[in-house]
Amino acid sequence: MNIELIKCHGSGNDFLLIDEMDGRITFTDEERGKLAITLCNRKTELGADGILFVLDSERSDARMRVFNADGSEASMCGNGLRCVARYVCEKLNKEEAVIETMKAHLQVKKQDDLFEDIPTYMVEISPVSFQLKDLPLQLEKETLINEPIEDLSEHLSFTALAVPNPHIVTIVEAQDIHSEIQKKVSEYVNGPNPLFPDGVNVSFVKPLVKGAIYVRTFERGVGFTNACGTAMSASSLVTCLNGLNEKDQFIEVYNNGGKVRCVVHETESGYWIELIGNATYVYRATVQLNKMNDNQFKVITKDNFDAEIAQYAKLGEAAQQFIRQYM
Ligand SMILES: N[C@@H](CCC[C@H](N)C(=O)O)C(=O)O
């Protein structure tokens, strides 16, 4: 079978986007997981952090399902949702839309370009929960806010939250960002362990100046990525709770793939976060897939979005220059 796909990224967190909306192509869940393992493999011509499947939705404009590179399905993906937002808005010729995800129907909206000629979208990150059962994190307490987790580290304090995929966030000094500790902690909580039966995304946050933070994330089901949208949203919220940033104000979130902008809101029903950033297309490809032969595949056509790639490289360089001043 032939599959048409778009390689895209949000802050260098890259995905293969496959449209199942028009019914010409559809997969079972088992096939989606296997496809993610095969096509996301970095040793192949494609390679990505995950696959975004775009499907029809009964209530919303479209539905997104996200599979990590290891074949596991995630309940949410912020950077991926921006790419899906662009794809769906352009397909339906709309400026805004609602996308169904595993646990919520979320607003997405085209924004003014974050940087010259960079297609930019806002996506809603919600619901947010601090209940440990929602991650899950198996500790004898209901929440964990700025507290050590004995098995992980003697000096780090973590906040656990689901947005709604699971995250732990710690605010650190530059030396912790550059040390091996994040890798050690992340591999522990994403391997067989008594605390996180489903694994967890692990973010180290370094405040840069008021209104600007740097976030590095080890993603469940992937490993270290250039950026993780839900993690940057969760981290922005945690910095507000710690008095480092303000609600309802822009927080510039720098990462190894560029930067996004978050705004934390609190309403009667809880917190939600605006995640604003690029939705960049890298190439459009046709892939010939042999399902009968272990998903072996061949890339038949590949058309690069050269102008978009070049423009994003400028944003990436400006972001890295900013980070270097403070780290
Ligand atoms: N990269 C994503 C999150 C993808 C899912 C995550 N690895 C998980 O398993 O929860 C993002 O941008 O939010």
Together in a domain, 290 and 190:
no
- Per the prediction, the chain carries an average pLDDT of 97
Residues 136 and 267 in one domain: yes
The active-site residue, picked from 77, 83, 240, 262, is 77
Domain residues for the domain of 204 are 132-277
Provide the pLDDT for residue 290.
85
Q: Are strands 2-10 and 280-290 parallel, antiparallel or unpaired?
A: antiparallel
The yes-or-no answer on residue 228 being catalytic is: yes
Q: Is the pLDDT of residue 292 over 80?
A: no
Reported ipTM: the value is: 0.97
Q: What's the CATH code of the domain at 93? A: 3.10.310.10
Query: What is the per-residue pLDDT across 186-215, written as a single tens digit (0 to 9) for each?
Result: 999 999 999 999 999 999 999 999 999 999
In tens, the pLDDT along 229-286 reads: 999 999 999 999 999 999 999 999 999 999 999 999 999 999 999 999 999 999 999 9
Q: For a substitution probing ligand 1, which of 222, 226, 236 has the most ligand atoms within 8 Å of its CB? A: 222
Q: Do 58 and 91 meet the contact criterion of CB atoms below 8 Å apart?
A: no
| Chain segment 111-152, per-residue pLDDT in tens | 999 999 999 999 999 999 999 999 999 999 999 999 999 999
**pLDDT average, residue stretch 65-86:** 98
Do residues 182 and 207 both lie within one domain?
A: yes
- Which residues face 23 on adjacent strands? none
For residues 305 and 316, membership in a common domain is answered with yes
Q: Which amino acid is at 237?
A: L
Quick one: 142 and 267 in the same domain? yes
How many residues make up the chain in this entry?
327
Output the CA–CA distances (angstroms, integers) from residue 238 to 163, 203, 207, in the order listed.
12, 11, 11
The first and second tokens of residue 243, run together, are: 């008095």
Same domain assignment for residues 80 and 178: no
Kindly state the helix (H) or strand (E) to which residue 184 belongs, with its residue range: helix 181-189
Q: Which residues pair with 106 in a beta bridge?
A: 99
Is the pTM of the predicted complex or chain greater than 0.80? Answer: yes
What are the structure tokens assigned to 80, written together?
Answer: 């991926």
Catalytic residue among 8, 40, 89, 228: 228
Within this chain, do residues 29 and 17 fall inside the same structural domain, yes or no?
yes
Peptide bond before 148: cis, by omega within 30 degrees of 0? no
Tell me the best of 79, 201, 222, 259 to mutate to test the pocket of ligand 1, counting ligand atoms within 8 Å of each CB and taking the most.
Answer: 201
Q: Are 122 and 260 in contact (CB under 8 A)?
A: no
- Number of other CB atoms surrounding residue 122 within 10 Å: 18
At 64 the pLDDT is 98
Q: Which long-range contacts (CB under 8 A, 24 or more apart) does 95-99 make?
A: 97/60, 97/61, 97/62, 98/59, 98/60, 98/61, 99/57, 99/60, 99/61, 99/62, 99/63, 99/64, 99/123
Rounded to a whole number of angstroms, the distance between the first and last alpha carbons of the chain is 48
Q: Is residue 140 located within the same domain as residue 155?
A: yes
272 and 307: one domain? no
Please name the amino acid found at residue 8: C
Instruction: Supply the residue whose CA is at minimum distance from atom 1 of ligand 1.
Output: 228
Same domain, 248 and 223: yes
Q: Does the annotation mark 240 as catalytic?
A: no
Residue 84, ligand 1, Cβ within 6 A: no
Give me the number of domains the chain comprises. Answer: 2
**Which residues pair with residue 216 across a beta bridge?**
204
Ligand 1 close to Cβ of residue 186 (< 6 A): no
Residue stretches of the annotated binding site for substrate: 13, 68, 78-79, 165, 201, 219-220, 229-230
